[in-house]
Structure 1
Amino acid sequence: MNHSPRLFQLDALRGLAAMAIMLFHLDLVYRIHGPFVRGYLFVDMFFLLSGFVLAVSTERKLKAGIGALAFTRDRFVRLWPLVAVGAGVATARAFAIGMADPLTLLLWLALDLAMIPSFSGTGPFYRYNGPQWTLFYELLANFLHALVLRKVPTRWMLALALALGVALIVTVRMHGSDTMGVDAPTWDTWWMGLPRVGWSYVLGVWMGRKYKDGVRGPALPWWLTLALPVVAIALVPRLPLRVAHGDLVFVMGFLPLAVWAVAQSRPPKALKPAFEWFGNYSLPLYCVHLTVLVWISELLGRAAWVQATAVGAAMLLAFVFSRLISFKGRPTRGKPDLAPTG
């Protein structure tokens, strides 16, 4: 059986998103007020990419009879190394700084490794590693995709995405920014992450189906399509809009167009190994960087040289884990006659 080529330009986009999120956390931890203060919006792109690539690569298998539980189990097995790496590094810091007694720390580690969120109502969604919350919602979206979304006709998928978009607008305006899902849920807030994940993921599924059906638009130079999201995230804070409204413009107006432009771009095939490596490298980087940034700030302060050291240490640790553990990226395969060949 011939396998269709990966849309490796999406791997590069995922890598750029992970770098921007790391720089957002650098801004948050070290209070530098740099250009990536809204880098958290690239989390929404992760969900959009997930829906897109699974629609392109996996829906045929889902429609062939893979059960929702079996599919979600396979996805969990694929993502769990990220959970283990992120929680493991964060646990080392917790023991080093004496965050709690050893038995409590081990209990927290067991709960995080089992993907059981914190229901304390305070602090992060997971006890150790904040970015792990996105993996929980990705698995939830995958489960609902296999259970329900695969049965939704394409003509109704956009309507469902738009309904979730309305919910997202209401939620972001209520919350004040598009940062829902990060904090531990309460009885009042447990639902607020769902519109954020739902809008991007469902729209991504619709876009992936249209791409798979051969829909195309004008193609931009590949390097420009990858540069535009990075430039745009730096420009969002400069918009004459409140934070909530600027976030919505970026997530609902810009991100879908940006992902579509990258998907149909045609980078040189010579870049494929580098782009695929960058996409896979982004996974451990996403999961370890925040702990490293915080830990080094606690040890050395917030000077400029410390910031550079923290970023370098996070990238180096992620590289080590990328070599020690197989972090296979999400499948991004297209039809042989439709995938970019330039």
Structure 2
Amino acid sequence: MSVDQKAAAPGAVRPHVRLGQLDGLRGFAAIVIMLYHADMVFRTHTPFVRGYLLVDLFFLLSGFVLAVSTEAKLNAGIGALEFTQARFVRLWPLVAVGAGVAATRSLIRGYDPQALVVMLALDLAMIPSLAGRGPFYRLNGPQWTLFYELLANFLHALVLRRVATRWLPLIAAIFGVGLVYTVRRHGSDTLGVNAPNWHNWWMALPRVGWSYVLGVWLGRLYKAGLRTPALPWWLALALPVGGVMLVPSLPWRMATGDLLFVIPFLPLAMWGVAQCRPPQSALPALEWLGTFSLPLYCVHLTVLVAMSELFGRGAPIKYAAILAALALSYLFFRLVSFGSKPTVVKPKTA
């Protein structure tokens, strides 16, 4: 009996379908965010100056992936605290690598060692700054997204898993209204980066909630079997990157362009990537890129800043800094296990 016949036999369980294209999408997003930070640090202007918009893709992917691969475990009885602890353990190597590299840079720059130890301990414990000024985390700016991802995971396990699928678009829409308000008030979709105060502590929640809840809804639809016509896989993967490159040229204010990208475009683009089917030969590279994106996301900003401090902001230094960030990320990729697993769709038994 052939493999196809076995899969079609009554009661047979079909092989897992790996969504390696989503791993690849996460990898491309991390690269774009690095290029955005390179523009910011070296004061240049390239088509990636709005690359921060792909941070929202991380929340969208997190909700989608957990709805596809993990909600069954949540519904089987795992508690919210237990689940969040497991997620924390899985994400902590990213925190440790990012904060450790940033602390090393600060020590070399002459920061007070005792103060640095306190900051490092707080950041490693995922305790954010509540100073109302400066970054959300003291040493490594990108760590803020990990905090909100854990918060979203906790609320997913505590509440969202019990919400019927038909109500998720309404919840997402409520967050969407909040996102429109906060982005227009702030002027751009960059909320969450800075330490909160009593007046603005809530303003990052619509940004996270819109993408995460919508991702859960789309993930449930996907897991239930909804499929739509698919673009060629290479085009589907290129669309989110091309979209973020196009946003700076839109003839509208920054806030309007950001909202058009994050609300109607990004969810459709991510869904399009989920629908596409790369050839088997491309999947290992896409899955590798997804895993590599984890250390890259957490160390690149420190490397870019350190290189600019040491050697200036010339164009050759910018490209050298990007290469250095890629090289150091690859070193940690080889030395540290980040616990990344391919996105898997677990088929139902016949």
Structure 1 length normalisation: TM-score? 0.96
Assess if the C-alpha contact under 8 Å between 1:164 and 1:195 holds in 2.
Answer: yes
How far apart are the structure 1 equivalents of 2:277 and 2:14? Answer: 21
How far apart are the structure 1 equivalents of 2:255 and 2:315? Answer: 30
Q: How much has 1:335 moved relative to structure 2?
A: 3.6
Q: Which runs of 4+ in 1 moved over 6 A?
A: none
For residues 91-124 of structure 1, give each alpha carbon's deviation from its aligned partner in whole angstroms, at most 9, with x where no partner exists. 001000113x110000000000000001111110
Q: Within 5 Å, give how 1:201-220 maps onto structure 2.
A: 201-220=212-231
Choose the corresponding residue for 2:41, options 29, 42, 49.
Answer: 29
Choose the corresponding residue for 1:303, options 302, 308, 314.
Answer: 314
**Partner of residue 166, structure 1:** 177
Q: How much has 1:2 moved relative to structure 2?
A: 7.6
Q: How much has 1:308 moved relative to structure 2?
A: 1.1
Q: How much has 1:6 moved relative to structure 2?
A: 2.1
For residues 297-325 of structure 1, give each alpha carbon's deviation from its aligned partner in whole angstroms, at most 9, with x where no partner exists. 00000111101110011000000001101
Segments of 5+ residues of structure 1 without an aligned counterpart are: none
How far apart are the structure 2 equivalents of 1:2 and 1:326? Answer: 29
How far apart are the structure 1 equivalents of 2:297 and 2:100? Answer: 14
Choose the corresponding residue for 1:47, options 20, 45, 59.
Answer: 59
In structure 2, the residue corresponding to 1:131 is in which secondary structure? helix
1:90 aligns with 2:110: no
Assess if the C-alpha contact under 8 Å between 2:23 and 2:342 holds in 1.
Answer: no
Assess if the C-alpha contact under 8 Å between 1:181 and 1:193 holds in 2.
Answer: yes
Q: Within 5 Å, give how 1:114-263 maps onto structure 2.
A: 114-263=125-274
How far apart are the structure 1 equivalents of 2:204 and 2:194? Answer: 9
Q: How much has 1:329 moved relative to structure 2?
A: 2.5
For residues 263-290 of structure 1, give each alpha carbon's deviation from its aligned partner in whole angstroms, at most 9, with x where no partner exists. 0101001111111110000000000000
Q: How much has 1:330 moved relative to structure 2?
A: 5.6
How far apart are the structure 1 equivalents of 2:120 and 2:93? Answer: 14
For residues 101-148 of structure 1, give each alpha carbon's deviation from its aligned partner in whole angstroms, at most 9, with x where no partner exists. 110000000000000001111110000000000000000000000000
How far apart are the structure 1 equivalents of 2:240 and 2:42? Answer: 24
Assess if the C-alpha contact under 8 Å between 1:26 and 1:293 holds in 2.
Answer: yes
Assess if the C-alpha contact under 8 Å between 1:50 and 1:330 holds in 2.
Answer: no
Assess if the C-alpha contact under 8 Å between 1:288 and 1:314 holds in 2.
Answer: yes
For residues 181-205 of structure 1, give each alpha carbon's deviation from its aligned partner in whole angstroms, at most 9, with x where no partner exists. 0000101111011000000000000
Assess if the C-alpha contact under 8 Å between 1:90 and 1:128 holds in 2.
Answer: yes
**What amino acid maps onto 2:230 in structure 1?**
A
How far apart are the structure 2 equivalents of 1:181 and 1:302? Answer: 27
1:326 aligns with 2:337: yes
Q: How much has 1:337 moved relative to structure 2?
A: 7.8
How far apart are the structure 1 equivalents of 2:99 and 2:342? Answer: 25
**What amino acid maps onto 1:177 in structure 2?**
S
Pair member with larger Rg: 2
Q: How much has 1:3 moved relative to structure 2?
A: 6.5
How far apart are the structure 2 equivalents of 1:335 and 1:219? Answer: 21
**What amino acid maps onto 1:246 in structure 2?**
G
**Partner of residue 70, structure 2:** 58
Assess if the C-alpha contact under 8 Å between 1:222 and 1:262 holds in 2.
Answer: yes
1:317 aligns with 2:328: yes
**Partner of residue 6, structure 2:** none
Structure 2 length normalisation: TM-score? 0.94
How far apart are the structure 1 equivalents of 2:342 and 2:155? Answer: 18
How far apart are the structure 1 equivalents of 2:14 and 2:74? Answer: 19
**Partner of residue 6, structure 1:** 18
Alignment size in residue pairs? 337
**What amino acid maps onto 2:80 in structure 1?**
A
Assess if the C-alpha contact under 8 Å between 1:124 and 1:184 holds in 2.
Answer: yes
Segments of 5+ residues of structure 2 without an aligned counterpart are: 1-12
* Cα-Cα RMSD: 1.3
